[in-house]
Structure 1
Amino acid sequence: MDAGELTGGVDLHAHWMGTDVFAASEEPGDWPRLVVDSGERGRILIGDRPFRDVRPSLWDVDARLRDLDAAGVEVQVISPVPVTFPYVDDAGAATEYAVATNASIAHAVAASGGRLAGLGTVPLPHADRAVAVLEDVMGGSAPLVGVEIGARVAGLELDDPQLLPFFEAAEALGAVVFVHPSDGGSGTIRRSGQPYDFGLGMHTDTALAAGALVFGGVLERFTGLRVVLAHGCGGFAWSYPRLRLGAELLQGRSPGAIDERVRSLYVDSLVLDPEHLRLLVHRFGADRIVLGTDHPFFPDLTGEARSMLAGAEVDGALGTGGAQRVFRTNGLDLLRRSAVPA
């Protein structure tokens, strides 16, 4: 097929940061915040420290919709910029920041005319508050479809017992849980700095998160969880055969049961290499891959994804109609199964 034949994209991996998180009377302190310098330029600051230059699609719904129109994306699921995850010791401050972030995302969704859906955030180190915020996210006046969480949570791996009440609530509420590296890959591999944190650290962080879910008992305990992992699940797809063998030989685990848990995961298509995409199909199944763009941080919203998906269908990796399923249908199916219809 031709890449141009793909229509009505449903993008599960995109970020939002609004100017409305802090009211003028509030003191942001060291929390990440957005400063808009002009109609074409803004900055994310952490306290007074510059973090990243950003463009209007990060905070402006109209600019975002123009990008979606140009790229052929019908629905985009927006989630917080990972640096804003409220994973601090102060439970009150973390909760307030999470609620403000979620309100900003809900406002953007409401202003989009049905083009945007939203993933919120929760103060995950504080279990009771995290569950309460999640319940509000899923059942409030402007409900979202789920939440984005970090691959690590204030030093906790995702199978830590402290996080089990959150996963229990997410399953019960039908929330989509989108897992994304929270620290840009830092502290995950022995060599720090760039391009190692970005190129290897983030992939390793995501693979470890998937490992915690699969081998740490989370997916076994909460079989109805719907988890999406960013960046094609990082390096997990490549490392899985050795992980599975280790679990079989050293822990007496059943390979078939492990395979079943792996194939319950969703992963996005943002892998930058056709061979990696083919591996995702082999490892997770074509029905578990959804479009992911990392908009507005990656410059090409759907061009590379279109090319890879079309090529994978032509060479048989995705099967007939598989490219369109990844580009649109799988994402729609996932959203329709959430508590809020897409």
Structure 2
Amino acid sequence: MTAPTVDVHAHALLPRIEALVGGLPGYAEARALDARRNGPDALAVSGPMVRDRIPALTDPAVRLARMDAQGVDVQLVSPSPSHYHYWTDADTAEKVYRLAHEATAAHCAAAPGRLRGLGLVPLQHPDLLVPALDHALEQGLVGVEISSHAPGRELSDPAYEPLWARAEKTGAVVFLHPFGCTLDERLDRWYLSNTVGQPTENAVALSHLIFSGVLDRHPGLKIVAAHGGGYLPTHIGRSDHAWRARTDASAGCAELPSSYLRRLYFDSLVHDPRVLRALIEAAGTDRVLLGSDFPFDMGSDDPVGALRAADLSEADFHAVRGANAAALLNLSPA
């Protein structure tokens, strides 16, 4: 018996959420901010790209057929990060996460042996985080997806301590997937908002979790960082140097920053076999999971082939292909 091939980075589009928030106060401003951050050229490409992928994002039968073609047995399905809507008020935010959980659970119920789901939590309303996580788990989801920050709050904010404590206690997976980059117009050309913005946001968010001591206080957290953790794992030496050289850098965490990489999980979506090998060296083979960003254009249509291109040992290849995720998600062998 071998571990199933598991893709931990795959998305679903949930139209009921957009129907709920469209036209509400703040919606137009949020759309305008997104447009400003990405720039007109990116939006002109992204619109048709997403429309072409709506069947794969919404129809479980199409999803399963694509998974078969890719050789993927199980997907961990998370809502599109465009559904975060961290601008909403508390009442709307609760409606958003409830809709997200019910819709994702229904989508995954089409093939419960092959689809597992994640929910959402409203980072802009810390008092709703634990109820939102609990609701996700009650719906049969295995955890939640979060962005790299919320307006005015970093992931190091003490207001998030109850979320980390509850996630640790329940064993819930927390999938860290940024949406939007606060560098704004500096990245509004050539799709820099994604190619530079996403790995930057990953690195900043993970640094807040490490340097603030969140991972010291909650060593059992199951955090999975999208996009291979961005720039941090391959540039962690600079963080280690700062921790050794400066009292302000070392004040919040007990150990070298690089040691915390082995307390986190990372997907394999780095688009470069050399970077993937470096990620595995930095974090450990048991901490890297297959990820594709299904079905978006910045993902991989052949995640298993991309993993094979890294020229790993057979044991490491199969660990990343599925054994690590199977252990994390408590999946049975294929």
Q: Provide TM-score, normalisation by structure 2.
A: 0.84
- Greater helix content: 2
Report if aligned partners of 2:239, 2:257 keep a CA contact under 8 Å in 1: no
Amino acid at match of 1:195: Y
Unpaired segments of 5 or more residues in structure 2? 29-46
Where does residue 84 of structure 2 map in the other structure?
A: 85
Where does residue 192 of structure 2 map in the other structure?
A: 196
State yes or no: 1:216 paired with 2:216.
Answer: no
Where does residue 143 of structure 2 map in the other structure?
A: 146
Distance in 1 separating the partners of 2:260 and 2:173: 16
TM-superposed CA distance for 1:58, in Å, is 0.3
TM-superposed CA distance for 1:122, in Å, is 1.1
1:303-338, Cα deviation, whole Å (9 max, x unpaired): 2x333432434xxxx43421111011111111119x
Amino acid at match of 1:145: V
State yes or no: 1:116 paired with 2:110.
Answer: no
State yes or no: 1:173 paired with 2:156.
Answer: no
State yes or no: 1:227 paired with 2:223.
Answer: yes
| Match 2:326 to one of 315, 332, 337 | 332
Where does residue 46 of structure 1 map in the other structure?
A: none
Amino acid at match of 2:235: S
Distance in 1 separating the partners of 2:314 and 2:158: 43
Distance in 2 separating the partners of 1:81 and 1:134: 17
Report if aligned partners of 1:188, 1:204 keep a CA contact under 8 Å in 2: no
With a CA cutoff of 8 Å and minimum separation of 6, indicate the structure with the bigger relative contact order.
Answer: 2
TM-superposed CA distance for 1:298, in Å, is 3.3
1:193-250, Cα deviation, whole Å (9 max, x unpaired): 3332111111101110111111121111111101000000011122210011112111
Amino acid at match of 1:158: L
Distance in 2 separating the partners of 1:285 and 1:154: 33
Where does residue 40 of structure 1 map in the other structure?
A: none
Distance in 2 separating the partners of 1:247 and 1:302: 39
State yes or no: 1:244 paired with 2:248.
Answer: no
- Tell me the secondary structure at the aligned position of residue 204 of structure 1: helix
| Match 2:305 to one of 287, 295, 307 | 307
| Further displaced range: 150-159 or 287-296 | 150-159
Amino acid at match of 1:167: W
Where does residue 152 of structure 2 map in the other structure?
A: 155
Q: Aligned pair count?
A: 308
How large is the Cα RMSD of the aligned pairs?
Answer: 2.8
Report if aligned partners of 2:237, 2:258 keep a CA contact under 8 Å in 1: no
**Aligned residues: percent identity?**
36
Where does residue 45 of structure 1 map in the other structure?
A: none
Distance in 2 separating the partners of 1:19 and 1:89: 17
Distance in 2 separating the partners of 1:71 and 1:157: 36
Distance in 1 separating the partners of 2:220 and 2:203: 21
Distance in 1 separating the partners of 2:3 and 2:129: 37
Where does residue 34 of structure 2 map in the other structure?
A: none
Q: How does 1:22-33 map to 2 (within 5 A)?
A: 28-30=22-24
- Tell me the secondary structure at the aligned position of residue 313 of structure 2: coil
Where does residue 259 of structure 1 map in the other structure?
A: 258
Report if aligned partners of 1:189, 1:200 keep a CA contact under 8 Å in 2: no
Where does residue 297 of structure 1 map in the other structure?
A: 296
Report if aligned partners of 1:189, 1:204 keep a CA contact under 8 Å in 2: no
Report if aligned partners of 2:4, 2:326 keep a CA contact under 8 Å in 1: no
- Tell me the secondary structure at the aligned position of residue 77 of structure 1: strand
Distance in 1 separating the partners of 2:270 and 2:144: 22
Q: Provide TM-score, normalisation by structure 1.
A: 0.82
- Tell me the secondary structure at the aligned position of residue 73 of structure 1: coil
Where does residue 32 of structure 2 map in the other structure?
A: none
Unpaired segments of 5 or more residues in structure 1? 1-5, 33-49
Distance in 2 separating the partners of 1:300 and 1:258: 28
Distance in 1 separating the partners of 2:277 and 2:260: 20
- Tell me the secondary structure at the aligned position of residue 298 of structure 1: coil
Where does residue 104 of structure 1 map in the other structure?
A: 103
Distance in 2 separating the partners of 1:282 and 1:188: 33
